C-alpha cells in the first residue's frame, strides 16, 4: 500500500470514527465549534502513545481517548491490553492485574457463552470515556505481536473544545496531531495538509 493511499484511508477513517459517535451529533458539534473546515485529529500512523496527550490537553480530563476498532480486535479472552500479563496469576492461571490505571477498559462476553471454559468465549472491549485519560498504555499493549493493534488514541469531538492551537499539537514529539476535514465539508488546502507531506 502506498503512503498516499494509507493517508487517504486515515482521512476516510476519521469520517467512520465520527460515524461511530453518531454523524448528526458529532458533525453538529464540529460545525458549531470549528472555526475552519478542519479539525484536529491524531494520525495513528505517527502516534507513539507517548503519554503527552494525557498531560497536555487544556481540559482537566483529556479530550483524547482510546478507541477500539472492533473490525480488527480479536475479542481475546487473554487480552494483553486489558490484563497485565506480568501480574500475579489466579488459580486458573489468569493474570489478576489490569493494564489501565483508570479501569477505563471494560469488557463483556458476546455471543454464545461457555460457562465451563472461558477460553471459548469472545470478549468485547470498550472504553469508558468518562474514565479514560488518553494515557495510551492500552494502545501500546495491544501492538502486534502481543495484540492485533486494534486500539488507538483519538481526539473525541464531543469533548474537544477546538482550541485555536491544540496544546497537544505544540508538544507532540511525533508531529502526530493533524488537521482533517469536518464531516460534511469538502477538504481544503488546510484540512488536506497531510496529503502534501
Ligand atoms: S503527544 Fe503525539 S505521540 Fe504523544 S500520545 Fe499524543 S498524539 Fe501520540
Ligand atoms: S488510554 Fe489509558 S486510561 Fe484510556 S483506556 Fe487506555 S490505559 Fe486506560
Ligand atoms: S484542541 Fe484543545 S481541547 Fe482539543 S485535544 Fe487539543 S488541547 Fe485538547
Rounded-to-integer distance, Cα 52 and Cα 134, Å:
9
Q: What global pTM score does this model have? A: 0.82
**Cα-to-centroid distance, 75 and ligand 2 (Å):** 17
Q: Which of 64, 62, 70 has its CA nearest to residue 16? A: 70
In a mutational test of the pocket of ligand 2, which residue from 54, 55, 67, 100 has the highest number of ligand atoms less than 8 Å from its CB?
Answer: 100
Integer CA distances (angstroms), 64 to 22, 40, 60, in order: 17, 11, 11
Peptide bond into 107 cis (omega under 30): no
The C-alpha atoms of residue 20 and residue 26 are separated, in whole angstroms, by 9
SS (HEC) of 36-55: CCEEEEECCCCCCCCCHHHH
Q: Is the beta carbon of 174 within 6 A of some atom in ligand 1?
A: yes
pLDDT at 10: 60
Domains of the chain, by residue range, sit at 67-153
- Local mean pLDDT, 10-residue blocks, the chain (197 residues): 53 49 54 73 97 98 97 93 95 93 96 83 96 98 95 96 96 97 57 39
- CA–CA distance, 92 with 86 (Å, rounded to integer): 15
Could you tell me if 53 and 61 are in contact, meaning their C-beta atoms sit under 8 angstroms apart? no
Q: With 0-12 CB in 10 A as exposed, 13-18 as middle and 19+ as buried, what is 54?
A: buried
What's the CA gap between 24 and 40, in Å, rounded? Answer: 19
Rounded to whole angstroms, the Cα distance separating 166 from 182 reads 16
Which three cell numbers, joined as nine digits, stand for 99? 493494564
Provide residues with CB under 6 Å of ligand 2: 66, 99-100, 102, 104-105, 127, 132-138
Amino acid at each position: 500500500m502506498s503512503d498516499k493511499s494509507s493517508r487517504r484511508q486515515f482521512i476516510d477513517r476519521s469520517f467512520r470514527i465520527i460515524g461511530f459517535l453518531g454523524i448528526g451529533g458529532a458533525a453538529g458539534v464540529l460545525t458549531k465549534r470549528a472555526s475552519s473546515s478542519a479539525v484536529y485529529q491524531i494520525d495513528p500512523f505517527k502516534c507513539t502513545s507517548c503519554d503527552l496527550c494525557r498531560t497536555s490537553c487544556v481540559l482537566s480530563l483529556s479530550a483524547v481517548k482510546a478507541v477500539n476498532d472492533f473490525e480488527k480486535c480479536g475479542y481475546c479472552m487473554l487480552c494483553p491490553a486489558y490484563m497485565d500479563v506480568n501480574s500475579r496469576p489466579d488459580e486458573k492461571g489468569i493474570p489478576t492485574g489490569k493494564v489501565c490505571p483508570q479501569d477505563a477498559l471494560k469488557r463483556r462476553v458476546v455471543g454464545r457463552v461457555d460457562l465451563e471454559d472461558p477460553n471459548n468465549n469472545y470478549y468485547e472491549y470498550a472504553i469508558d470515556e468518562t474514565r479514560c485519560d488518553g494515557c495510551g498504555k492500552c494502545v501500546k499493549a495491544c501492538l502486534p505481536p502481543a495484540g492485533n493493534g486494534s486500539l488507538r488514541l483519538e481526539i473525541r469531538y464531543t469533548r474537544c473544545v477546538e482550541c485555536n492551537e491544540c496544546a497537544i499539537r505544540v508538544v507532540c514529539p511525533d508531529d502526530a496531531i493533524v488537521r482533517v476535514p469536518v464531516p460534511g465539508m469538502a477538504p481544503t488546502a488546510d484540512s488536506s495538509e497531510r496529503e502534501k507531506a
